[in-house]
Amino acid sequence: MQKKETNILVVDDEPDVLELIVFHLKKEQFQVTLADTGDKALAITRVQLPDLIILDLMLPGINGLEICKLLKQDPKASDIPILMLTARAAEEDRIRGLELGAHDYVTKPFSPRELVLRVRNLLLLKENKRDSIKIIEIGPFYLDTANYRATVNGDNIIITSTEFKLLCLLTSRAGEVQTRETLLRDVWGYQPTIDTRTVDTTIQRLRSKVGNASKHIETVRGIGYRYTESLS
């Protein structure tokens, strides 16, 4: 059973949805904090640093995508798992949210049981990360996983938390081909159900930010990607 002190922030402006989520999360012994606007969600997160955020994308004022972007740029909040709530037809919003660093999504109307299971899976992934490598130093890259800091040939680079996680995974598994499905699961923390464009788009952005070091990120046609040390 989940520990009482695990706190989940639920962000949605629909009272019925909030009531449903709160009921099922509290039934599973989670503590729950509520926010019905983006501004409130940001303020609460910066003070409380919840263990996980359930975030509706369609909010008044600042929307869920912008909230996700801002949180992933905040070093103190960037590691908080985000579970998106989206409309069934909003595929582009889901893809954009995953690219910005959200970890998983549930479409409305949703099964409360599925929601709870996805929450548990994300919390488990977060817990397991505490045992991961703290420093990765390979080729031109120096990655400080505890502080989300990356350098290329000694120069700091600015990348999103998702791009950082992707780079960490590729470098920590240097020489091993990673399928797009594996990257979706291990970086975004969910089982892929639609397509793999999210991976390709994020790889493209990452390559553009690391300059000449992008040559170490090799495309394996029809399969996925791998980090290559030797370029001979």
> What is the rounded average pLDDT for all residues in the chain?
87
* pLDDT average, residue stretch 65-89: 87
pLDDT of residue 5: 76
- In which residue are the tokens 């099922």 written? 24
Strands of the chain (E only): list them. 7-11, 31-35, 52-56, 82-87, 104-108, 135-138, 141-144, 149-152, 155-157, 178-179, 217-220, 224-227
pTM higher than 0.75, yes or no?
no
- Between helices 64-72 and 38-48, what is the axis angle to 10°? 30
Domains along the sequence of the chain with CATH: 7-129 (3.40.50.2300), 133-227 (1.10.10.10)
Stronger pLDDT, 11 or 97, i.e. the higher one: 11
Residue type, 35: A
Strands of 38-190 (E only): list them. 52-56, 82-87, 104-108, 135-138, 141-144, 149-152, 155-157, 178-179
Stronger pLDDT, 96 or 178, i.e. the higher one: 178
* pLDDT average, residue stretch 150-170: 92
* pLDDT average, residue stretch 70-82: 87
d(CA 140, CA 125): 28
pLDDT of residue 223: 93
Each residue's pLDDT tens digit, 35-75: 999 999 999 999 999 999 999 998 988 999 999 999 988 87
